[in-house]
């Protein structure tokens, strides 16, 4: 009797795994990272935190910026943003109230000149995900 229920459990588990694969459910890969997500999710400019709205305005105005790293090249090593030549993307800090360092929030913009980007993305989780900013 125990071997029948063990076989049934294995069969049920295999069926569940196949169902998950068929529906395209996200899963961690063997390195513990999430599969690539689309950078096409969007966020309205007005939905950004107030600090993000100020950073976005500073980008369009060419500054001033508080952090030395603001305006430096963003390498897109995570490959979550559209593929572009090196130097296309620049990153900017979105201050986090109470943080002792730059925090995890950033705006990454692409295009030249930097004051007229073709597109900008917001990340609240230090490049783990991006949402395209819809001005």
The confidence score (pLDDT) of residue 40 equals 65
| Per-residue confidence in pLDDT tens, the chain, 135 aa | 554 554 445 545 445 444 434 434 333 333 333 334 455 699 999 999 999 999 999 999 999 999 999 999 999 999 999 999 999 999 999 999 999 999 999 999 999 999 999 999 999 999 999 999 998
The confidence score (pLDDT) of residue 36 equals 45
In a domain, 82, yes or no: yes
Among 28, 47, 67, 91, the active-site one is 91
In a domain, 27, yes or no: no
Q: What is the CATH number of the domain that holds 87?
A: 3.10.450.30
In a domain, 13, yes or no: no
List strands edge to edge, sheet with 42-44: 42-44, 131-134, 119-123, 106-110, 89-93, 72-73
The confidence score (pLDDT) of residue 39 equals 55
Domain total of the chain:
1
In a domain, 110, yes or no: yes
The confidence score (pLDDT) of residue 19 equals 46
The confidence score (pLDDT) of residue 27 equals 35
The confidence score (pLDDT) of residue 135 equals 82
The confidence score (pLDDT) of residue 122 equals 98
DSSP helix/strand/coil, 53: helix
Annotated catalytic residue 28? no
In a domain, 14, yes or no: no
In a domain, 50, yes or no: yes
In a domain, 107, yes or no: yes
pTM listed for this prediction = 0.71
Annotated catalytic residue 88? no
In a domain, 12, yes or no: no
Structural domain of 120: 38-134
Distance between CA atoms of 20 and 38, rounded to whole angstroms? Answer: 20
């Amino acid at each position: 009797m125990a071997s029948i229920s063990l076989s049934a459990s294995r069969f049920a588990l295999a069926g569940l795994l196949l169902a998950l694969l068929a529906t395209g459910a996200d899963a961690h890969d063997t390195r513990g990272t999430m599969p690539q997500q689309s950078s096409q999710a969007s966020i309205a400019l007005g939905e950004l935190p107030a600090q993000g709205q100020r950073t976005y305005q500073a980008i369009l105005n060419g500054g001033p910026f508080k952090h030395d790293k603001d305006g430096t090249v963003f390498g897109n090593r995570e490959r979550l943003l559209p593929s572009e030549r090196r130097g296309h993307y620049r990153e900017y800090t979105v201050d986090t109230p109470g943080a002792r360092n730059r925090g995890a929030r950033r705006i990454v913009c692409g295009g030249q000149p930097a004051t007229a980007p073709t597109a900008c993305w917001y990340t609240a989780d230090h490049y783990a995900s991006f949402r395209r900013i819809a001005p």
